[in-house]
Structure 1
Amino acid sequence: MASCFRALHCLLALSFLSSTAYGGQLTPTFYALSCPTLELIVRTTMMKAINADRRMGASLLRLFFHDCFVQGCDGSILLDDTGTFVGEKTAGPNANSIRGYDVIDQIKANVEAVCPGVVSCADIVALAARDGTVLLGGPTWAVPLGRRDSTTASLSQANSDIPAPTSNLSSLITKFGNKGLTADEMTALSGAHTIGFAHCEDFRGHIYNDTDIDPAFATLRQGNCPAASGSGDTNLEPLDLKTPYVFDKDYYPNLLGKRGLLHSDQELFNGGSQDALVQQYSTIPALFFSDFAAAMIKMGNISPLTGSAGQIRANCRVVNK
């Protein structure tokens, strides 16, 4: 009964957030007059991208997360390095790992053709993350819009603020808490790992050294991830072995069976404060979906640039001249 009440409460809260300006700054109707076809353009472009590469839904969801955790949701992760400017793309959590920049470029070009100089790259990333989730079977939500693009980036913050795959539960709670997100919201957002893949170098320590892992699962993953550092580092394995291209609740039953691919995944169900919530999500997909959508809305409101702050970049990769 408590779970049902909580799910209903989340759905009502989500409905309220979807119909009003979030935090008094962002609103889903921000471009209703200035670019009324924006969401159709984004969805159509995302459909083509995912039809060509189903991994792209997870990649753009991760891109949004890594953007919001550094300076807020401001599109700073999209900025290329130049002779006088160092961006975030070469940071440890992003280098040779973050994908989807070309899809954001294509969406931006398609939007600019219809609504030039109106829509920020930061808002495009937020919409692409939502659509990637939906197109792979996940929940939808009304994305609060009105962000503007940063003219700066922070390599140091990207290296320090984005949680590492080797993080323990305490560190994860602290990193998310620093961004105004609760431990429960962290656990809901971690469910994004129901889709996508990880590099061997990010889970090698977990499958060879940790004890909180199913031995058969560890042996299976060792087959594509050699023990020696530097060997097969970029080999990919799905975060969810069962349905890596479907956004569902299977991430959580995996944790119950000690089959989390990353050390940080398994920390959510390892005798700590999040065990009960993981158990709930593993059996109540509607609760996970509603909590995930609400947490995505809240994450999307981390320190947005609004009003006259920042700019609307013409090219998502460079600051306007």
Structure 2
Amino acid sequence: MAAMAGSVLLAFLMIFTILSSSVSSLSLNYYDKTCPNFESAVTNAVKKAMKNDRTVPAAILRMHFHDCFIRGDLKGCDASVLLKSTKKNVAEKDGPPNVSLHAFYVIDHAKEAVEKMCPGVVSCADILALAARDAVALSGGPNWAVPKGRKDGRISKASETRQLPAPVFNISQLQQSFSQRGLSLEDLVALSGGHTLGFAHCSSFQNRIHNFSATVDVDSTLSPSFAANLRRICPLQNKAKNAGSTMDSTTFGFDNVYYKMLLGGKSIFSSDQALLTNPKAKALVQKFAASEAEFGKAFAASMVKMSSLTGGQEVRLDCKVVR
């Protein structure tokens, strides 16, 4: 794993040289003079939270993704997902796809620690991007240098969470969603690997295990034994609010098992299975299933690319409210 992390860091430096020309506002040394040691405070906040709650890495990674994908072509990763609702506005975190997001306190604790070191300097958006990197690395996944300099946005609307790619999307819908944010098919397949962490509620995959079509009850692309287990966990008349399934068999480890399970008919979402309906995407799935190192490099590069979409205006003192 250490060797993979090292190769990822080297690969990143080459990727960033190319990427930085189009994202001039971000820099690896953005805070070198104004807050040189703040990253350790973010890492410590993530580590501490993980000791008490093993679901924190998946929560932070998902939070970062959801932040970046709202109006990704205009504002992207601007910490708008952290803003709380007001009497006049329902914020992103209260939109339907985001109501299950949690662990916001981790970012708040990291921000508090950073503010003690360098008041009013480091944005919440940068802290969230770094926390997502730490969540992956501390779960056994790749490590990478995060370009910094994002600003925090002032706009957060629950209505805009409809822009997030849904678990029922087909490959065309997924490609359109990612391409609108400047992300390629390889980015789509690599970032889907983030599903190696986390938990899916029954409602997000019921369409595959009950009343799949007018003539078939269960999606035939699912392994019969896997589908039977999902149906046991999530019966048709399921009333258990928190029932569901982990995304892969290594629940808390960041690895390439997601791709192996996908090829074995053991994916959770329709959007996961959709990757196998495109020849180029399927070839990438096979590549990542065969090599954890290749997946790690691709995931790190795609995370840098995705998180470099930014358009905020300020540095919040409190991540929950506009300054």
TM-score by length of 2: 0.90
2:242 partner letter: T
Residues 1:166 and 1:52: Cα distance change in structure 2 (over 3 Å): same
Residue matched to 2:4: none
- Report 1:266-305 matches (<5 A): 266-270=273-277, 272-305=279-312
What is the alpha-carbon distance in structure 1 between the residues aligned to residue 16 and residue 29 of structure 2?
A: 10
Which residue of the other structure, out of 221, 225, 230, is the alignment partner of 1:216?
225
Query: Is the 1:59–1:99 Cα contact (8 Å) retained in structure 2?
Result: yes
- SS of structure 1 residue aligned to 2:200: strand
| Structural mapping, 1:121-270, within 5 Å | 121-159=124-162, 161-208=163-210, 209=212, 210-228=219-237, 231-240=239-248, 242-270=249-277
The whole-number CA distance in structure 1 between the counterparts of 2:45 and 2:158 is 29
Shift in CA distance, 78/286, structure 1 to aligned 2, threshold 3 Å: same
- Aligned residues, how many? 304
| Counterpart amino acid of residue 86 in structure 1 | V
Please name the residue that 1:80 is paired with. 84
Counterpart of 1:146, as a letter, is G
Report the Cα distance in structure 1 between the residues aligned to 2:164 and 2:97, rounded to whole angstroms.
Answer: 7
Stretches of structure 2 that go unaligned for 5 or more consecutive residues are 1-6, 213-218
Amino acid corresponding to residue 16 of structure 1 in structure 2: M
- Shift in alpha-carbon separation, 1:147–1:11, aligned structure 2, 3 A: closer
Residue pair 1:117, 1:313 contacting (<8 A) in 2 also:
yes
1:70 offset after TM fit, Å? 0.9
CA gap of 1:148–1:262, structure 2 versus 1, over 3 A, is: same
1:303 positional shift = 3.1
For 1:88 and 1:314, locate their aligned partners in 2 and report how far apart those are by CA, in whole Å: 19
Query: What's the C-alpha RMSD, in Å, of the aligned pairs?
Result: 1.8
1:65 equivalent to 2:71? Answer no
Give the CA deviation at 1:53. 1.0
Identity level (%): 41
Amino acid paired to 1:267: A
For 2:47, give the aligned amino acid. M
CA contact (8 A) 2:89 2:157 kept: no
Amino acid at match of 1:298: K
Cα pair 2:8 2:143 within 8 Å, conserved: no
- What does 1:300-311 align with in structure 2 at a 5 Å threshold? 300-305=307-312, 310-311=313-314
Q: Is the 8 A contact 2:171 2:278 kept in 1?
A: no
- Describe how 1:104-115 pairs up with structure 2 within 5 A: 104-115=107-118
The 3-state SS of whatever aligns with 2:268 is: coil
1:197-222 per-residue CA deviation (whole Å, 9 max, x = no partner) reads 11111111123322211110011122
Query: Structure 1 residue runs of 4+, over 3 Å off?
Result: 9-13, 17-21, 270-273
CA apart distance, 1:11: 7.2
- Give the superposition deviation at 1:288: 0.6
Shift of 1:68: 0.3
1:86 to partner: Cα distance: 2.3
Q: Secondary structure at the match of 2:92?
A: coil
Q: How far off its partner does 1:194 sit?
A: 0.7
Looking at structure 2, the residues matched to 32 and 49 of structure 1 have their Cα atoms a distance apart, in angstroms, of: 26
Deviation at 1:112, TM superposition (A): 0.8
The C-alpha deviation readout for 1:242-287, integer Å capped at 9, x for no partner, is 2010000100010110100111111112464411110111001111
- Superposition TM-score, scaled by structure 1 size: 0.90
> Once the 2 structures are TM-superposed, how far is the Cα of residue 19 of structure 1 from its aligned partner?
6.5
Match of 1:93 among 93, 97, 115: 97
- Gap change, CA 1:127 and 1:69, over 3 Å in 2: same
Whole-angstrom distance in 2 between the partners of 1:220 and 1:63: 28
Change (3 A) 1:17 1:274: closer
- CA distance 1:51–1:238, change in 2 (3 Å): same
